[in-house]
Structure 1
Amino acid sequence: MEQLDLSAGPVAYEDTGGDGPVVVLVHGLLMDGSLWDDVVADLRADHRCVVPTLPLGAHTLPMREDADLSPRGLARLLGEFLERLELDDVTLVGNDTGGALVQLLLAAGAPQVGRVVLASCDAFDNFPPGLTGRTVVATGKLPPALFGLFMQQMRIKPLRRLPVSFGRLTKRGDAATARWIKSLLARPAIRRDTVRILRGISAHRGALTEAAAELAGYDRPALVVWAEQDKVMPPEHGRRLAELLPHATLVTIPDSYTLLPLDQPAALARTLREWTPT
């Protein structure tokens, strides 16, 4: 992993290098860049894959105390990441909350982004998304120490698989979800960041509805990829995003919940390869 010092704090990232088209892959809440490991293993043969671990609760590098960890602040941090790496004509891919940040970045203007992929993600009024999202955001009302105590139960697999935790997000990725919570459980600074993130989402529930008004003006290619069995991100939202974005294509992938990179990495990688230029 490499590291980049940004205005909010240090961000770790993976960069496979190479001369292929640049694909930047953005993870969701309480996840890190390893969400994309199997997709990157497939794409790296002919694409340059850049995968940041953003401060979304599974990061290991604490943010500065004055960092803006609101949804729009995190979207700006993503834009700063692209700028600092001097990336251009990027294919920007977001899954789960990562797709929310991508939408917010597009709404604010993102000249480095040549193509965008929204993969089973928060959209419109589904922010925080479903029972899963509303439950975890509600825990952000707790002080960081009590939040940490509450999250200790995520060590237990049957509790991680409940609908209010990761059970409706992935069919096959429990090992990843167990790994993602380790930093939060072990480090007070990460718990502090996570509580601030959750409170930011709670305070800006209308952010994606506002961003949607700007997406109709996005004049570059877009791909909307949705899990047919998604229980958190309504498939209707995938159709609405594809209709809203002027140059969008809609693809559905079977036998998957929200986290397509865990449940169907080969199908997702194939879809991305067929759609992105080489």
Structure 2
Amino acid sequence: MAISVQLGDLHRADLTAGPVEFREKGSGTPIVFLHGIIANGDVWRNVVPELVGEYRCITPDWPLGSHRLPMRDGTDFTLFGLATLIDDFLEALELTDVVLVANDTGGAIAQAVAVRHPHRLGRLVLTPCDAFDNFLPLPIKHLQILGRTPVGLYLLAQSLRSPLIQRLPIAFGRLTERPIPAEIMRSYTEPLRRISGVRRDFAGLVRAISTRFTEEAGRGLASFSRPTLIVWARERHRFFPVRYAHQLADNLPNARLEFLDDSGPFVSEDQPMALAGLIRDFLETSP
């Protein structure tokens, strides 16, 4: 679970699919943050403090492998199932005019929310993320194999204990230009190692990953007319190539596209101040 106190006080929402822990700070228009697999709300720990003076920042630990509280048996971990979970969370907190800010796998989920459950959304912010035929990206496709069996998943979880493994291209090495702090890496990797229910959730998640869902979501984006900001990294490893940013911008009727240099796909790690500035400007200038 997220450990960053700058994200605010810890709360819990009990949803149909199971409990979701989240941190909250600030007041005003709600911003809800989405992270990717084997990550949690700590991804946004350096962005939220730049926005809480004007906005209500809500940073959940979604059930994507670094959460503490497992989901109930039978949870739908398909892309559109997770989109329904997001919508249930927004409903549980009675949120409207939500700004959904997403990264990595969370960006694919956000697209699905925009297509299937747009009624609570006011604006959308997509940072480098899975989209179209890039789900999962090639460097981490092995997670779909290792995560399917108890033995493979156990070996994967235990391997992520090592900082050397963490910085490999097949782990977190291509996601940032600079190493992620050790205590944050522990918050990402320990739940998968220590909590059997989290491993069960993750196995269900990787079994449900399919590009047919991201392709369907991508086609449906034409129906989402609310203002959208796309902030992409010109990253050298091409984990999320820039062509996907352009394709998203082409499919979304009301999109603004910006690029950041000297950053991996985790732009909130490498360029948090620049990202927060772009988000703030977008929220101040978009209707």
Q: Paired residue for 1:190, among 198, 209, 225?
A: 198
Native 8 Å contact 1:169 1:231 kept in 2: no
The two structures, once aligned, show a CA RMSD in angstroms of 1.4
User: What letter corresponds to residue 21 of structure 2 in structure 1?
Assistant: A
> What letter is aligned with 2:156?
F
CA distance in 2: counterparts of 1:136 and 1:232, whole angstroms: 15
Counterpart CA distance in 2 for 1:68 and 1:105 is 14
Partner of 1:210: 216
Q: Output the TM-score relative to the length of structure 1.
A: 0.94
Q: Which amino acid aligns with 1:221?
A: P
Corresponding residue for residue 266 of structure 2: 259
Q: Deviations over 1:209-237 (max 9, x none)?
A: 11111101211101111011162111110
The equivalent residue for 1:137 is 144
Is 2:170 aligned against 1:164? yes
The counterpart of 1:117, out of the listed 112, 125, 141, is 125
- SS of 2:54 mapped into structure 1: coil
- Contact conserved, 2:82 with 2:109, CA < 8 A, in 1? yes
> C-alpha separation between the residues in 1 aligned to 2:223 and 2:104?
23
Q: Deviations over 1:88-136 (max 9, x none)?
A: 111111100010000011111321101101110111100112312x121
Q: Structure 2 matches for 1:217-256, cutoff 5 A? A: 217-229=223-235, 231-256=238-263
Aligned residue identity for 1:183: P
1:177 aligns with 2:185: yes
What stretches of structure 1 move > 3 A for 4+ residues in a row? Answer: none
Deviation at 1:148, TM superposition (A): 1.5
Shift of 1:17: 3.6
Asked whether the equivalents of residues 132 and 211 of structure 2 are also in contact (C-alpha less than 8 Å), the reply is no
1:150 and 1:23 mapped to 2: Cα distance?
33
Which residue, out of 257, 264, 282, partners 1:275?
282
Q: How far apart, CA to CA, are the structure 1 residues paired with 2:250 and 2:244?
A: 10
**CA distance in 1 between partners of 2:90 and 2:179 (Å):** 28
Letter in 2 for 1:15: E
Closer, same or farther: CA 36–72 of 1 in aligned 2, 3 Å: same
Bigger CA drift: 147-156 or 250-259?
A: 147-156
2:13 aligns with 4
- What's the secondary structure of 1:174's corresponding residue? coil
CA distance in 2, matches of 1:88, 1:265: 26
Q: Distance in 1 between matches of 2:53 and 2:162?
A: 37
Aligned-residue identity in percent: 40
| Displacement of 1:177 | 2.9
State the Cα deviation string for residues 176-215 of structure 1 (Å, max 9, x = none). 33430011101111111111111111xx321111111110
User: Residue 51 of structure 1 aligns with which residue?
Assistant: 59
1:26 is matched with which residue? 34
Check conservation: 1:58, 1:180, Cα contact below 8 A.
Answer: yes
Q: CA deviation at 1:173?
A: 4.3
Letter in 2 for 1:245: L
State the match for 1:90 in structure 2.
98
